[in-house]
Structure 1
Amino acid sequence: MDFDFSEEQNLLRDSVERFCADGYPSLEARQARTREPMGFSEANWGKLAELGVCGLPFSEEDGGFGGGAVETMIVMEAIGRNLAVEPVFASGVLGATAIRLGADSDQKARWLPGLIEGTTRLTLAHTERQSRYDLHDVATKARREGSHYVLDGQKSVVLNADSAGLIVVSARLSGERRDRHGIGLFVVPADAPGVTIEAYPTQDGGRAAEVAFANVAVGADAVLGDSEDGLPLLVRVAEHGIAALAAEALGSMSALHALTVDYLKQRKQFGVTVGSFQALQHRAVDMLIALEQARSMAIYGAMMVDSADAAERAAALSAVKVQVNKACRFLGQEAVQLHGGIGMTMEYIGAHHFKRLAMIEYQLGDTPYHLRRVADDGGLIAA
C-alpha cells in the first residue's frame, strides 16, 4: 500500500508548515497570540482561510476544497508541531464535520459561505458536568413550541466558544438522560438571547467556556438531520475529532522528540554530552519507537474514519485513541525526565508540548474509556 502523499497533499503540507513557521517562530510569539482577546490571532485565522484550511472539509460542489481525512491529518499535524492556537480543531474539525454530515442543502447554502471564508466560526457543545465521555448522556432539554425549538441546559468545556459565531448543541427532546434515542443537534447563534458564555483559558494555552442556554429559541431550520436521532451524527463528529487529535498529537510528539534529542546532544555532564550515555540513547530510541507507533495509528485513524461499517469504525478509532494516548503520556514524561529541571519550566517550549499532550490524552475519551470500548467490541481482530 502506498502511503506517500499526492502532489496536492504535499503542497497543502508545505503551505500550512510555512504559515506555522511564520506565525509561530518562537514561544514568545505563541504566548503573544494567547494573550489576544479571543486567545488567538484574527489575522492568522484570515491567513488560514486564504490557504483554504477553513474550506478544506467541504466538497467542491458546496464551494469548498474537497479535502478528506488525510488532508485534515496533514493540517492537524502541522498545528500540533507548532502548537498553533487558532481554533482549527473546534471549528474546522468538530463544527465543520457536524455541518458537512448533517446539514441539508439549504442549511449549507446559509452557513458554508461564511465558514469557508473564515468570517464565521463554529464549535461543538456536547459535554456536560455529569456526562464524562458518554455522548448519549444529555441532560440539556429541547422542547417543540409551534415552529420553533426552545433549549434549556448547560454545557461544559466548550472549545473556543467565546470566538464562535455558531454553536452546535446536543439537546434531548425525549427520553431519559442516558437514553440513546431522543437526542437532537441544533445550530445556535452564539449571540442568541438566552445564551451565556463564561470563557476561560485552558492549561495548554487554548480557550474553553461554560455555556448556558435559558429559553433559547431556534427555528426548525436549525436542526441537523433527525431532531430525535442525532446521536449517530454526534458519534461521527467525535470519531473525526479523534482522528484529528491523533494527528495533532503526532505533530507535537515529533517536535518534542526532536527537542529532546537535540538537548541530549548539547547538555554536558562530567565533561561530555549526556547523549553519549548509552542508557539515555536507549530512552531516546524508546521515544522514537512510541512516536512511530503513534504515526501508524494516526494514519490508520485517517483511513478508517470514513469506513461504512459503524462497528468496525468505532473499534478502530477507539484503538487509535488508546495507542496515541499512551504515546502522549510516555513521550511527555520521558522528555521531561531527559531534560531535567528545564523540562518543566514555562519559559521552555518543551513544557508547553508536554501540557498539550496531557490535554489531548483526556479529550474525547481517556485510555481506560476507549480500552473498554475496544474490549466490548471484541478487539480489532476477531478471535
Structure 2
Amino acid sequence: MDFTLNEEQQMLQDTVARLARDSYGFDQREGFYRSEAGFSREFWQQLGELGICAVPLAEEHGGLGGGGVDTYLVMTELGRNLCLEPYLHSQVHGAGLLQQLGSDAQRAELLPRVAAGELQLAVALEESQSHYQLHDVQTRAEPCVGGWRLTGTKCVVVGGDSAGLVLVSARTSGAVLDESGISLFLVDPAASGVKRRSYPCIDGPRACELRLDGVVVSEDRLLGALGKALPALRYQQGRAIAAQCAEALGSMQESFRLTLDYLKTRKQFGAPIGKFQVLQHRMADMRGELEMAASMAILAACVADDPDSEERSRRLAAAKFIVTRAARFIAEQAIQLHGGIGMTWEYSLSHHAKRLVMLSHQLGDDDHHLRAYAELLRCA
C-alpha cells in the first residue's frame, strides 16, 4: 500500500506542526496548564482561524470534509507537542455525534460554530459504574412539559468545564443495562440544575464531574430518534479511538526522540551511554514497539470513517490494544533509560509518560479492547 501523503495532507501536517511548535513550547504549556481554562484559548482560536478545527467536519456544515487520515495528521502533531486543548473530545467525538444524530436544523445552527472554533463541545457518556460500557446508563431523562428532565451524574467529562454544550447520554426507557432506550441530549452547562466539579487530570487536560439535578432541556435538544442513540455512540467512539491512537503515536515518537538524544549526550566512563550494547537493545525494542503502534494507528485512521461493521470494530479494537501496550512500554522504558531526570516536572518526558498512561485508560483500556476483539472473532 502507498502511504505517501498527498500535497494537501502534507500542507495540513506542516501547518499543524509549525503552529504547535511555535505556540507550544514546554514553558508556555506550563502557563496554559495553570490558567483558569487549563489550555490556551488563543491557540484554540488559531486552530479555528487556520481551519484546523474544521478538518473533521463535513463541507456542508462549514468544515473541510477531512477523513480519518487527515484527523490522524492533526492529532499526531497535537500529541507530539502535548497540547492541552480538547480537540479530540470536541471536534472529533462531539461534532461527530452531532453530525450523525442531529437534525438539519441542529446541524445548521451549531456545526458552523464548532468548525470555526467558536463553540466547544464535550461528551458525557461515562458513569462511575459503567466501566467503558456505553449501554450501562443510570442517568434518566423523563418527559416533562416542553421537553425532558434529566437526573444523574456523569464522570470524567474531558473539556466539560470549558464547553459551551455538553452531549449527555440518558436512559429514556428500559432497564439499566438494556441496549435500547438510550438517548442523547444537548445540555447547556449554564442551565439550572447543572453542577460541574472541575479538576486537572494527571496528564494535563482538565475534566469535570457533571451532576444533573432535574435539568430541563427543550424538545429540540434531543439528538436523533428517541431511545436509539447507542449505535451512533459506538460508531463515533470508534472514530475517537482512531484519533486517540494518533495522539498517542505523536507522544510516543517524541518520547523516543528525547530518549535517543539523551543516550547520545549523557556520558559515563568517558563515553556516551548510548554506546552500551544493553541500552542499544532496549532502544531497538522501543523502536519495534513504536513501528508496530504506527502501523496500527494508520490502520485505525484508514477505517475510522468506514461504514459500521464487525470488521471495522475488530480493527479499531486491535489498534487500541496494540497502541495502548506500546504506549505503556515506551513510557516505562524512556523513564528507566533517563533515570531520575526522566521523572522531574521540569522535563517534558515525564509529562509524555503521564499522558501515555492516561490515554491507555480513556475510551477503553487494553483489557477491555482485547475482550472486545475476542468476542468479535467468535461472532465472525
Structure 1 stretches of 4+ moved >4 Å: none
Query: Where in structure 2 are the equivalents of 1:193-342 lying within 5 Å?
Result: 193-342=192-341
Q: Percent identity?
A: 47
Mean CA deviation greater in 110-119 or 264-273: 110-119
Q: Is the Cα contact below 8 Å between 1:135 and 1:234 reproduced in 2?
A: yes
Query: Normalising by structure 1, what TM-score?
Result: 0.97
1:113 Cα deviation (Å)?
2.4
1:306 Cα deviation (Å)?
2.1
Separation of aligned partners in 2, 1:99 and 1:159: 17
Separation of aligned partners in 2, 1:203 and 1:111: 32
User: Paired residue for 2:344?
Assistant: 345
User: Paired residue for 1:8?
Assistant: 8
1:379 Cα deviation (Å)?
7.1
User: Paired residue for 1:165?
Assistant: 164
**Structure 2: gaps spanning 5 or more residues:** none
Separation of aligned partners in 2, 1:316 and 1:223: 31
1:96 Cα deviation (Å)?
1.1
Separation of aligned partners in 2, 1:40 and 1:337: 29
Query: Where in structure 2 are the equivalents of 1:352-367 lying within 5 Å?
Result: 352-367=351-366
Separation of aligned partners in 1, 2:69 and 2:95: 16
Partner amino acid for 2:14? Answer: D
Query: Normalising by structure 2, what TM-score?
Result: 0.98
Partner amino acid for 2:166? Answer: I
Separation of aligned partners in 2, 1:3 and 1:225: 36
Separation of aligned partners in 2, 1:119 and 1:61: 17
Separation of aligned partners in 2, 1:135 and 1:60: 29
Q: Is the Cα contact below 8 Å between 1:83 and 1:252 reproduced in 2?
A: yes
Q: Please, what is the CA RMSD of the aligned residues?
A: 1.2
User: Paired residue for 2:152?
Assistant: 153
Mean CA deviation greater in 109-118 or 79-88: 109-118
Mean CA deviation greater in 239-248 or 51-60: 51-60
Separation of aligned partners in 1, 2:250 and 2:204: 16
1:379–1:48 distance in 2 versus 1, CA, 3 Å: farther
1:146 Cα deviation (Å)?
4.0
**Structure 1: gaps spanning 5 or more residues:** none
Partner SS, residue 149 of structure 1: strand
Separation of aligned partners in 2, 1:379 and 1:320: 18
**CA displacement 1:297-331 (0-9 Å, x = unmatched):** 00100111222242111111111110001001110
Separation of aligned partners in 2, 1:272 and 1:156: 50
Partner SS, residue 39 of structure 1: coil
Separation of aligned partners in 1, 2:265 and 2:259: 10
Separation of aligned partners in 2, 1:168 and 1:85: 20
Q: Is the Cα contact below 8 Å between 2:235 and 2:308 reproduced in 1?
A: no
User: Paired residue for 2:19?
Assistant: 19
Partner amino acid for 1:317? Answer: L
Separation of aligned partners in 1, 2:58 and 2:365: 32
User: Paired residue for 1:120?
Assistant: 119
